[in-house]
Amino acid sequence: MGRSSKDKRDIYYRLAKEEGWRARSAFKLLQLDEEFGLFKGVKRAVDLCAAPGSWSQVLSRKLRGKDVKIKEMAEEVKIVAVDLQAMAPLPGVTQIQGDITKISTAQEIIRHFEGQPADLVVCDGAPDVTGLHDVDEYIQAQLLLAALNITTHVLKPGGTFVAKIFRGKDVTLLYSQLKIFFSGVTCAKPRSSRNSSIEAFVVCQNYSPPEGYVPNMSNPLLDHSYDVDFNQLEGPNRIIVPFLACGDLSAFDSDRTYPLQLDASEEYHYTPPTQPPIQPPYQQACHLRKNNLLAKEDSPAHLVEAAFSAMEL
């Protein structure tokens, strides 16, 4: 590919270079802000999964750059950027090279804000894409939930959370989880996000966790080293569904072995299954075993082939 062919194909890629943004993704955050006014009154902001840093650049320019009229106000602003990867420095942005699924990262953010909560958390996180759509969607969803977890530690009530989401078939499950914590949840697609991509952004407004909710990072799917006893969770952190034993206690116990003749006076008669499987996946193996062809190193290949063709496979 020639040096200019990507410039020709992708206007946002070209504009990003012309305007000095580290990645074309900058336009996605700028366009989300145009629609939702994300930066109004924001003094403390967190950029999760920030490298190479175009969203942090947007935060820096919008919250403390030339767009902010009063210098003292700009100096009050604190921005923290987190990523697994190292990132070149940016004015007014503190970097944490860390993992957003770790409680230690949440603690570091809180330390940087001197115990004050953030007004805005953004996350453009993306795992390495495998090309297997179901796997990619699943991992993206897990990363979004990790971002939500860390956000519950650092965001102020009423604050805003913006995150990349893949609009896959299970996306409504994610929306319903986000709705537990935010009164307003919108799925937005900026013009700069390619139509061909299932990528979109959830803009979650007015952080209002359930009463008594205690932030935690426990996601057993993400990190098995978290030593969480789920039975110890209380209040809104614990969901209890009723467990009901059904049937008469005098009915047969499914874990016990009973004699073949339940009634000793009657002779046992085998009853075949009502409807055996029509074409079970183990059919070939049964056939080969019946013909003594299974797993025999010295089975002549032509016999195995003959067995397969007899079965019209």
Q: Which sequence positions are flagged as catalytic?
A: 164
Residue 102 corresponds to which tokens in the numbers above?
A: 């770790």
Specify the stretch interacting with ligand SAM by CB under 6 A; choose among 48-56, 73-81, 233-241, 299-307: 48-56
DSSP state of 60: H
CB 52 within 8 A of CB 88: yes
10 annotated among ligand-binding-site residues: no
Site membership for ligand SAM, residue 200 (CB under 6 A): no
Binders of ligand SAM among residues 116 to 135 (CB under 6 A) are 124-127
Site for ligand SAM in 54-93 (CB under 6 A): 54-55, 82-85
83 annotated binding-site participant: yes
Of the listed pieces 9-17, 94-102, 201-209, 299-307, which binds ligand SAM according to CB under 6 A?
Answer: 94-102
Closest CB to ligand SAM among residues 89, 127: 127
Q: Does 149 bind ligand SAM (CB under 6 A)?
A: no
55 annotated as a binding-site residue:
yes
* CB neighbour list of residue 185: distance below 8 Å, 6 or more residues apart: 175, 178, 179, 202, 203, 204, 205
99 is in an annotated binding site: yes
- The annotation status of 21 as a binding-site residue, yes or no, is no
**Do the Cβ atoms of 87 and 51 come closer than 8 Å?**
yes
Question: How many residues bind to ligand SAM according to rule CB under 6 A?
Answer: 22
Q: Interface with ligand SAM includes 23 (CB under 6 A)?
A: yes
> What value, to the nearest 5°, has the Cα angle with vertex 174 and ends 46 and 154?
25
Instruction: For residue 7, give both structure tokens.
Output: 């410039």
CB 120 within 8 A of CB 194: no
Helix (H, G, I), strand (E, B) or coil at 97: strand
**Residue 187, helix vs strand vs coil:** strand
x/- letters, 99..118, toward ligand SAM (CB under 6 A)? xxx-----------------
Binding site for ligand SAM (CB under 6 A): 22-23, 25, 49-55, 82-85, 99-101, 124-127, 143
